[in-house]
Amino acid sequence: MGVQSTTLLLAAARGDVGPMPDCAIFADTRWEPKRVMEHIERIRPLRPFPLHTITRGDLRAAAIEGEEPEDRFAVPFHVRRGDGKLTIGKRQCTSRYKIIPIKQKVRDILGVGPRGYIAPDSVEQWVGISTDESHRMAPSGVAYIRNRHPLIEADMSREACKRWLAERQQRAVKSRCRGCPFQTNDDWRDLRDNDPEEWAMTIADDRAIRTRGSSPDAQQFMHFSGVPLEDADLSVRVHPNQLGFDLHCGGACGS
C-alpha cells in the first residue's frame, strides 16, 4: 500500500471520497519490505471500515524455491540469454498474487462461491491510480466489478497525493516487492541506503534466481541492466523504459 492507495484510503475514511467503502483489501505477496507492512499496521486504526489483508502465498519462495512453472516463472525477471541478448520475462505475479486473490476475497465477502453468479456492476472497486499513471487504468476483467479511480476524478497526481498526506501530518512508503524487476535505480538506492538488512537479503535473493530461468543457458537478474544487483551501477539516473523496456506494474501493484 503506497502513496496513492494510502491517500485514497485516508480520504475515504475522512469522507472526502464517497460513499463510505464497505472495506479495503490489501493483497500481501509476503515479499513486501518490512516498512510497508509496518505502515499498514500504523494506518489500520485510522479507518472506520475493515481493512482485510489477504495472501495467495509467498511470492519470494515461489520464485526462488518453487517447482511449478506458474510459480517459478511468475516474476518477470530480466534474462540474459546465451547469445548475450537481454530480455524480460512475462509478468504473471500481479495477476496471481494481487488481482485474483482480491476477486476471491470479494466473492467471500458477498458469500458467493467460485462459480456462483453475481449480477453485473454489483461491486464498485476503487483503485489508487493517480493522473500521472492513467495509462495503468484498466477494467476489472469481470462483469460484476466496476473499477473506479477517485484520484483521477480529483485530478490528483502522485505529488499531489504526497502534499495531501503531508498537510494532514500523514505519510506513506513506496509499495513494491523487494525483488520487483520494475524498480528504478532510485528505488534500489533507497533500499540499499535505508535498510541494509533487507538490501543484504535482496542481494541473496538475486543470486538465488540466477539459474532459475526456463533455459539452461540463460541467467536471471533483478536489475534492468542484466548484471548482479550487488554489481549494478545505481548512480545512473536513467529509467529502465529509456533502455527499451516497458516496465510498469499493473494497477494493483506499486500504488
Percent of the chain at pLDDT exceeding 70: 93
The pLDDT, as a whole number, for residue 245 is: 46
CA angle centred on 122, ends 121 and 127, rounded to 5° = 70
Give me the pLDDT at residue 236, please.
Answer: 83
Query: Which DSSP string corresponds to 218-251?
Result: -EEESSTTSS-GGGS-TT----GGGGT------T
Q: How many residues does the chain have?
A: 255
Domain enclosing residue 178, as ranges? 3-243
To the nearest whole number, what is the mean pLDDT of the chain? 91
Residue 19 lies in a domain: yes
Question: What is the average per-residue pLDDT within 21-47?
Answer: 95
Categorize the per-residue pLDDT at 115 as very low, low, confident or very high, splitting at 50, 70 and 90: very high
Report yes or no on 250 lying in a domain: no
Q: Which residues contact 211 (CB under 8 A, 6 or more apart)?
A: 219, 220
> Residue 253: inside a domain, yes or no?
no
Q: State the pLDDT at residue 67.
A: 74
Q: How many domains is the chain built from?
A: 1
Rounded mean pLDDT, 163-179: 93
Residue 254 placed within a domain: no
**What average pLDDT does range 183-199 have in this prediction?**
95
pLDDT digits (tens, 9 = 90+) for 205-247: 999 999 887 778 899 999 999 999 999 999 987 665 545 444 5
pLDDT tens-place string over residues 81-94: 989 999 998 889 99
Is residue 255, in this structure, part of any structural domain at all?
A: no
- Residue showing cell 535505480: 185
Q: Is the pTM of this model over 0.75?
A: yes
Report which of residues 135 and 147 the model is more confident about: 147
